[in-house]
């Protein structure tokens, strides 16, 4: 994701659905982020994230705050980049969240969205979906004690728009020059969109 940040070496970034702040920290590690905010609905996730930030003595640069990606409690045109990793699939109204991302971006700012997608190759897709539907819930259940979370994962991934369909949603929200980068045979994708 950091490779897709817009130009500049003192960027102000917002990471939505930040969870435990791994994405925010990874963007900061690029050396091009000066300051950043992570937003999430879960205080418990952010408590872990705040510990990570404090441990790295970055509390003066990175902060986490409670908030909904669908109603971002921050001013218009405040950020050079807004990211969301494995979070857009979880919001109730995707279009609303995309419009909110657009609103808080400065002109020439960029949205970066990382999300699961389905491989294009029929052969890889067949084996991937077999693993995703039947093997991963068992392994995930054994490790975490909660196999329902892993069944939910594959159901939501298989029904969520990806590829051209997701690019269209971004364009409809106002983004320009929307691009998709497929990762690992297309099991995940990074979508980038510009605010002119």
The site for ligand SAM (CB under 6 A) is made up of 16-19, 22-23, 39-42, 45, 68-70, 85-87, 90-91
Q: What is the DSSP letter of 135?
A: I
- The DSSP 8-state label assigned to residue 40 in this structure reads E
- In angstroms, the CA 59 to CA 65 distance is 12
Q: How far is the CB of 115 from ligand SAM (least distance, A)?
A: 10
Residue closest to ligand SAM, measured at CB: 19
**From edge to edge, which strands make up the β-sheet containing 105-116?**
62-66, 33-40, 11-16, 79-85, 105-116, 188-194, 176-183
Three-state DSSP class for residue 84: strand
Measured CA to CA, the distance from residue 37 to residue 34 in angstroms comes to: 11
Measured from the CB of residue 24, what is the shortest distance to ligand SAM in angstroms?
A: 8
Helix axes of 147-159 and 136-144: crossing angle, nearest 10 degrees: 140
- Choice between 22 and 182, CB closer to ligand SAM: 22
Q: How far is the CB of 163 from ligand SAM (least distance, A)?
A: 20
> Cβ closer to ligand SAM: 18 or 189?
18
Q: How far is the CB of 89 from ligand SAM (least distance, A)?
A: 8
Give whichever of 14 and 91 is closer to ligand SAM, judged by the CB atom.
91
The residue among 86 and 185 lying less far from ligand SAM, judged by its C-beta, is 86
């Amino acid at each position: 994701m950091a490779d897709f940040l817009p130009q500049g070496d003192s960027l102000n970034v917002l990471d939505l659905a930040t969870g435990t702040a791994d994405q925010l920290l990874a963007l900061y590690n690029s050396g091009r982020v000066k300051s950043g905010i992570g937003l999430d609905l879960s205080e418990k996730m952010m408590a872990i994230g705040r510990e990570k930030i404090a441990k790295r003595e970055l509390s003066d640069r990175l902060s986490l705050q409670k908030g909904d990606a669908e109603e971002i409690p921050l001013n218009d045109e405040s950020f050079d980049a807004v990211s969301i990793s494995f979070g857009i699939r979880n919001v109730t109204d995707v279009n609303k969240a995309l419009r909110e991302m657009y609103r808080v971006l400065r002109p020439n700012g960029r949205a970066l969205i990382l999300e699961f997608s389905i491989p294009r190759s029929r052969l890889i897709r067949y084996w991937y979906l077999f693993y995703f539907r039947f093997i991963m819930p068992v392994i995930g259940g054994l490790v975490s004690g909660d196999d329902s979370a892993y069944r939910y994962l594959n159901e939501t991934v298989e029904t969520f728009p990806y590829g051209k369909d997701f690019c269209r949603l971004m364009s409809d929200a106002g983004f320009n020059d929307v691009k998709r980068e497929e990762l690992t045979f297309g099991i995940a994708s990074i979508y980038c969109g510009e605010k002119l």
